[in-house]
Amino acid sequence: MPKTSSDKPQRKAVALVSGGLDSMLAVRVLQEQGVHVEGINFFTGFCVEGHTHAIRKKDRDKPKRNNALWCAEQLGIKLHIIDVSEDYKGVVLNPKHGYGANLNPCLDCKGFMVHEALEWMKKHDFDFLITGEVIGQRPMSQRKDTMPVISKESGAGDLLLRPLCAKLLPETKPEREGWVDREQLLDFSGRNRKPQMALAEKFGFKEYAQPAGGCCFLTDANYSSKLADLWKARGEKTYEIDDIVMLKVGRHLRPRPHFKLIIAREEGETNFLRGYRRNYLSLNTISHSGPISLIDGEADEDDLELAARLVARFSSGRTSELVTVEVRQKNGESKNIEVKPLTAEDIPQEWYV
């Protein structure tokens, strides 16, 4: 084990790095004490980072970055990004502690991530875990009464250190063993961000992300509503990665309980949805320019005509008498049908998911 200048063995901590300011500060607090820190970031499928920004053409010119990678670079630490999307389904579909305001299973999620980080820590011979959690900052997972639940249910126990609020919590093993100095840890609590901002200034962090809970689509009401609609239509709580990616793309309309349309809103989404034509039945206006649309579910001939009229409504032929729509099967076979576009009044608001 490497030695520090004081000849004590250098301890190694793995940090859950979300890309926000709190995890960035937590890492730096430990680095100041000579601890070797590496970051871990989990891909659940619901991460806000990247997805829609990457798809929509209008956003293409905006600078894009993965905040977790950016933070790691600022901190000079390695970052390990782990795909946990398959195992994460159990958290989303059946959260032991229930959901928050939307379909966000925050308490189960944090317990799951700490557990996964613990397994990684053991495998890579690290000594303890840290998070940027602050008491009272989140209504579900960051409360004084739920933090011990996370420590216990994750299996991490007293190997889990929260540097930003450690002084308000029972002593952990890294503190007890002298791996870190408790006196140099912090006592942040509540939703007030001023202490974090002051510490950021002290550390010279000029720029940092302000996610404030916005890093997960499950905290978003519109997204949660689309996911609930998907489960209701299928008659069971289940999903595949493609399903949850699709919920972030396009305009979703459900004209009948057994199928919905995913209609591209612009060129970037059209290009993205085109890549899924082998997985979904698709519709495309031929006589007029218009967006590509996918059908999720089963549609008979009447349904297809209705879907085509709906798609025609979103094409440049919306005021035309007839619009030709190509209906393409997953195997590439296609046929053209001519339909009269629906009017705006023909489309009930309830169809919009």
Partner 1 sequence: MSETTLDARNLLCPLPVIRTQDRVEKVEPGECLLIQCTDHGVINDIPAWCRINGHEVLSIDEQDYEIVIKIRVGKTR
Q: Which of 1, 32, 54, 198 binds partner 1 (CB under 8 A)?
A: 54
Contact 110, 22 (CB under 8 A): no
Residue 204 contacts partner 1 per CB under 8 A: no
3-state helix/strand/coil string of 287-317: CCCCCCEEEEECCCHHHHHHHHHHHHHCCCC
Shortest distance, CB of residue 108 to partner 1, whole angstroms? 22
Q: Which residues contact 73 (CB under 8 A, 6 or more apart)?
A: none
Query: Stretches 7-15, 27-35, 58-66, 330-338: which one binds partner 1 (CB under 8 A)?
Result: 58-66
List the structure tokens of 51. Answer: 């997805």
Site for partner 1 in 119-178 (CB under 8 A): none
Contact 313, 342 (CB under 8 A): yes
Shortest distance, CB of residue 348 to partner 1, whole angstroms? 32
- Residue 55's SS3 state is helix
Residue 53 contacts partner 1 per CB under 8 A: yes
The footprint of partner 1 on this chain (CB under 8 A) covers a number of residues equal to 29
Q: Which of 25, 27, 48, 55 binds partner 1 (CB under 8 A)?
A: 55
* Cβ proximity to partner 1, 4 vs 279, nearer residue: 279
- Tokens 């729509």 map to which residue? 325
Look at strands 79-83 and 128-130 and give their pairing: unpaired
Q: Which of 31, 34, 51, 139 binds partner 1 (CB under 8 A)?
A: 51
Q: What is the DSSP string of 242-296?
A: HHHHHTTSSEEEEEETTEEEEE--SHHHHHHHHTTTTTSEEEEESSS----EEEE
Each residue 274-293 as x (binds partner 1 by CB under 8 A) or -, in order, gives -x------------------
Residue 2 contacts partner 1 per CB under 8 A: no
Each residue 311-330 as x (binds partner 1 by CB under 8 A) or -, in order, gives --------------------
Q: Which of 16, 26, 46, 49 binds partner 1 (CB under 8 A)?
A: 49
What CA dihedral angle connects 215, 208, 141 and 82, to 10 degrees?
Answer: 60
Shortest distance, CB of residue 345 to partner 1, whole angstroms? 37
CA angle at residue 305 from 299 to 307, to 5 degrees? 65
Distance between alpha carbon 90 and the CA centroid of its chain, in Å?
15
* Cβ proximity to partner 1, 37 vs 253, nearer residue: 37
Site for partner 1 in 59-88 (CB under 8 A): 60, 63-66, 69-70, 72-73, 76-83
The contact set with partner 1 (CB under 8 A) reads: 41, 43, 47, 49-51, 53-55, 60, 63-66, 69-70, 72-73, 76-83, 245, 271, 275
